[in-house]
Structure 1
Amino acid sequence: ELVFVLMVRIRLCLGEAESFKEQGNAYYAKKDYNEAYNYYTKAIDTCPNNASYYGNRAATLMMLGRFREALGDAQQSVRLDDSFVRGHLREGKCHLSLGNAMAASRCFQRVLELDHKNTQAQQELKNASTVLEYEKIAEVDFEKRDFRKVVFCMDRALEFAPACHRFKILKAECLALLGRYPEAQSVASDILRMDSTNADALYVRGLCLYYEDCIEKAVQFFVQALRMAPDHEKACLACRNAKALKAKKEDGNKAFKEGNYKLAYELYTEALGIDPNNIKTNAKLYCNRGTVNSKLRKLEEAIDDCTNAVKLDDTYIKAYLRRAQCYMDTEQYEDAVRDYEKVYQTEKTKEHKQLLKNAQVELKKSKRKDYYKILGVDKNASEDEIKKAYRKRALMHHPDRHSGASAEVQKEEEKKFKEVGEAFTILSDPKKKARYDSGQDLEEDGLNMGDFDANNIFKAFFGGPGGFSFEGRWKCSPAGFGNVSTQIAWEAGGVCQGMCWWRRVLGFAT
């Protein structure tokens, strides 16, 4: 009688469990996986030794993306019934989705042992092999620092293993190393929302901050990762580098503020050697060192440092501004204009507009004749200094002084003589000089430098005797114009008194 009662209860339980299963199937068909999960759970609670109930709940959990829980149910189903093909398939699918392709392969091979014609197992086995192949390629490429290829491999692997945190972390780390920080942060943050203790995700989150020059915050994440996993080598190395980089940079800044430029240069150089992968921080260090070099008047070295800075970070406005100023100081105006244009296109401020305008003016001025250079005087030269310089240069390049030279030399000296006259015409007139210094086009102001006569300027300056013309030429022997024994005759009607006066002016013996 007792056995009969037990059998009745068992049958009632089985009937109730089957009822729960059927209701679960109905909700599963409607894609209401949460309700399906509830009814499959009731079926298991009613009859905990039925493999198919665990298999069904595993399938539901997979549809909900809860692969770790689904894996537990699938494994329980095949423990209860090792010949349960669907259970082995679902276990393999869970392993594969979680990134364990080796374990997945074993499950699919077991299916084929039970049913060698099972096409799903055959396809899934190929998928598992594909994932294993992508893993191997990614491992080799990571060592080669071919991070783009690693990201590609991980994207392909994640198509078959969408719940694999390991693949996602590797992808995120490579994205960070490629400078794609927002993408890397997004991946790491998604994992941390599901598992706030994931040391790898904490490390990647810190790595992104570290590479974005938020070093203090980065250290906090590295420390947290090391609390979760004290032996995390990457987090340990990154934490050490971050602290060292922060200290060196701060020491360099302090030395710079104190005016100790030599020490600042050394500290910035040491900081640059800590981590070549930290692009943004290194860009700032190069720019800082460039500023030090400019203070030391090592302008070419400063330009090189700023160039390295913009190579690392082509959006770094401060480096462009520093380099442009160095170009201005070294009179490389075209390069300065290019940098200021880049700055103004990025940040259209009044200050940047004025800097660009100033550089454009200097560039325009640089393409004109440099009258100060022609006369050999400073831009702040006085009126007397300009006159003395003209006297010296005009006598040096006067054509009559070189009448015995070759035709080529005579032509060159005539050109220089004319340029000296031009320079004196402009720089000796305060108004013309002011327009010239401001970068205005003198020809646009009505002054045609091709119309004046350099000989007339020479006569007016030296105040020579009247009645003779510069259109004539001294006739000299091959021995040279300055030789005392040379016989000189004036071809164009000059009088003896005039001839002797010009000999004195041009510096020859009388």
Structure 2
Amino acid sequence: MCPKNASYYGNRAATLMMLGRFREALGDAQQSVRLDDSFVRGHLREGKCHLSLGNAMAACRSFQRALELDHKNAQAQQEFKNANAVMEYEKIAETDFEKRDFRKVVFCMDRALEFAPACHRFKILKAECLAMLGRYPEAQSVASDILRMDSTNADALYVRGLCLYYEDCIEKAVQFFVQALRMAPDHEKACIACRNAKALKAKKEDGNKAFKEGNYKLAYELYTEALGIDPNNIKTNAKLYCNRGTVNSKLRKLDDAIEDCTNAVKLDDTYIKAYLRRAQWWDCSSPRLSL
């Protein structure tokens, strides 16, 4: 290969792009424009690689340079619009994530990924929001795809753990959070999730122990404390409400027991045990007719 020929690097970049190897292609595209700054196709390919990897601002700079060299270039004009659209989707998604409008974030990331199919950051944000929406299989699938390409991706490990955590598989979840923290010790979300998971598991186990020992007042307090750890963990909290309902029944507080089971099924409408216990306590609390 001729090391000083810009078009050779440009052609190899184009081939790598067709293979989906955008990071490698970016290196070749950048080398092509270093060798020849007037190489329009080189700037276009550089911008396309940046955009595919999710760096829309850098993509805009590349497309602007291409337009400076050829202001009528239709591809550069369209790609510049695409890059700006991605930046807008990012901005909207950031705002909506703070508002906890996770469906809107998923929508924005889907649109952005149409232009940035190799952007792990967009995929991870989408997966995290899918997990927050309870769409665990979809979130797991996205995270697993990333981990197949990069087994050390701390964000993907965090999302895998988050799905398990919200599905009440707390021990397995902790393993993923710990692994994420090994890869990125300052990963704030993994740190918080790991701490919550460990605290939730410990409080629930302490509550179960107190219940088995007949210390119902302590069990009630422990289950109540556990319910305050993470309101987002729907499945675990549903079980905690049901457990606390059982404690209330032992304390002869049937109305409170019924209310706890009602809260359990509000969180998880597939939770059969909570329905059965509520029906049982309704039956016990209903006045009997004298015949």
Where does the alignment leave 5 or more consecutive residues of structure 1 unmatched?
1-46, 324-499, 503-507
Q: Once the 2 structures are TM-superposed, how far is the Cα of residue 73 of structure 1 from its aligned partner? A: 0.8
- Aligned: 1:272 with 2:52: no
Return the alpha-carbon distance in structure 2 between the equivalents of residues 501 and 301 of structure 1. 10
Contact 2:216/2:250 (<8 A) preserved:
yes
Return the alpha-carbon distance in structure 1 between the equivalents of residues 116 and 223 of structure 2. 45
Return the alpha-carbon distance in structure 2 between the equivalents of residues 255 and 307 of structure 1. 23
Going by fraction, where is helix more abundant, 1 or 2?
Answer: 2
Judged with a 3 Å threshold, the aligned counterparts in structure 2 of structure 1 residues 203 and 509 are, in CA distance, closer, same or farther, namely: closer
Return the alpha-carbon distance in structure 1 between the equivalents of residues 125 and 89 of structure 2. 12
Judged with a 3 Å threshold, the aligned counterparts in structure 2 of structure 1 residues 57 and 288 are, in CA distance, closer, same or farther, namely: same
Per the alignment, residue 149 of structure 1 pairs with 104
**CA-to-partner distance for each residue in 1:267-304, whole Å, 9 max, x for gaps?**
00000000000011001101100111111111111111
Return the alpha-carbon distance in structure 2 between the equivalents of residues 92 and 73 of structure 1. 12
Return the alpha-carbon distance in structure 2 between the equivalents of residues 217 and 170 of structure 1. 22
Per the alignment, residue 290 of structure 2 pairs with 509
Where does the alignment leave 5 or more consecutive residues of structure 2 unmatched?
283-288
Return the alpha-carbon distance in structure 1 between the equivalents of residues 243 and 24 of structure 2. 54
Paired residue for 2:15, among 60, 83, 87?
60
Return the alpha-carbon distance in structure 2 between the equivalents of residues 308 and 171 of structure 1. 29
Per the alignment, residue 127 of structure 1 pairs with 82
**CA-to-partner distance for each residue in 1:465-510, whole Å, 9 max, x for gaps?**
xxxxxxxxxxxxxxxxxxxxxxxxxxxxxxxxxxx999xxxxx999
Return the alpha-carbon distance in structure 1 between the equivalents of residues 59 and 7 of structure 2. 20
Q: Percent identity?
A: 93
Return the alpha-carbon distance in structure 1 between the equivalents of residues 249 and 26 of structure 2. 64
SS at match of 1:196: coil
Q: Once the 2 structures are TM-superposed, how far is the Cα of residue 240 of structure 1 from its aligned partner? A: 0.4
Q: Cα RMSD between the aligned structures?
A: 6.1
Larger Rg: 1
Return the alpha-carbon distance in structure 1 between the equivalents of residues 81 and 38 of structure 2. 22
Return the alpha-carbon distance in structure 1 between the equivalents of residues 241 and 12 of structure 2. 59
Return the alpha-carbon distance in structure 1 between the equivalents of residues 121 and 268 of structure 2. 30
Contact 2:211/2:247 (<8 A) preserved:
yes
Return the alpha-carbon distance in structure 2 between the equivalents of residues 501 and 108 of structure 1. 69
SS at match of 1:145: coil
Contact 2:257/2:281 (<8 A) preserved:
no
Return the alpha-carbon distance in structure 2 between the equivalents of residues 144 and 240 of structure 1. 24
Per the alignment, residue 91 of structure 1 pairs with 46
Judged with a 3 Å threshold, the aligned counterparts in structure 2 of structure 1 residues 288 and 116 are, in CA distance, closer, same or farther, namely: same
**CA-to-partner distance for each residue in 1:340-387, whole Å, 9 max, x for gaps?**
xxxxxxxxxxxxxxxxxxxxxxxxxxxxxxxxxxxxxxxxxxxxxxxx
- Flag the structure with more relative contact order, 1 or 2, with Cα contacts below 8 A and sequence separation at least 6: 2
Return the alpha-carbon distance in structure 2 between the equivalents of residues 159 and 294 of structure 1. 54
Contact 2:146/2:156 (<8 A) preserved:
yes
Q: Once the 2 structures are TM-superposed, how far is the Cα of residue 53 of structure 1 from its aligned partner? A: 1.0
Q: Once the 2 structures are TM-superposed, how far is the Cα of residue 48 of structure 1 from its aligned partner? A: 1.8
Return the alpha-carbon distance in structure 2 between the equivalents of residues 294 and 131 of structure 1. 55
- 1:392-431 alignment to 2 at 5 Å? none
**CA-to-partner distance for each residue in 1:156-200, whole Å, 9 max, x for gaps?**
111111110000000000000111100000000000000000000
- 1:141-220 alignment to 2 at 5 Å? 141-220=96-175
Contact 2:258/2:281 (<8 A) preserved:
no
Judged with a 3 Å threshold, the aligned counterparts in structure 2 of structure 1 residues 57 and 263 are, in CA distance, closer, same or farther, namely: same
SS at match of 2:235: helix
Aligned pairs, number: 283
Judged with a 3 Å threshold, the aligned counterparts in structure 2 of structure 1 residues 261 and 89 are, in CA distance, closer, same or farther, namely: same
Judged with a 3 Å threshold, the aligned counterparts in structure 2 of structure 1 residues 225 and 501 are, in CA distance, closer, same or farther, namely: closer
Contact 2:67/2:77 (<8 A) preserved:
yes
When normalised by structure 1's length, the TM-score is: 0.54
- 1:76-475 alignment to 2 at 5 Å? 76-323=31-278
Return the alpha-carbon distance in structure 2 between the equivalents of residues 162 and 312 of structure 1. 35
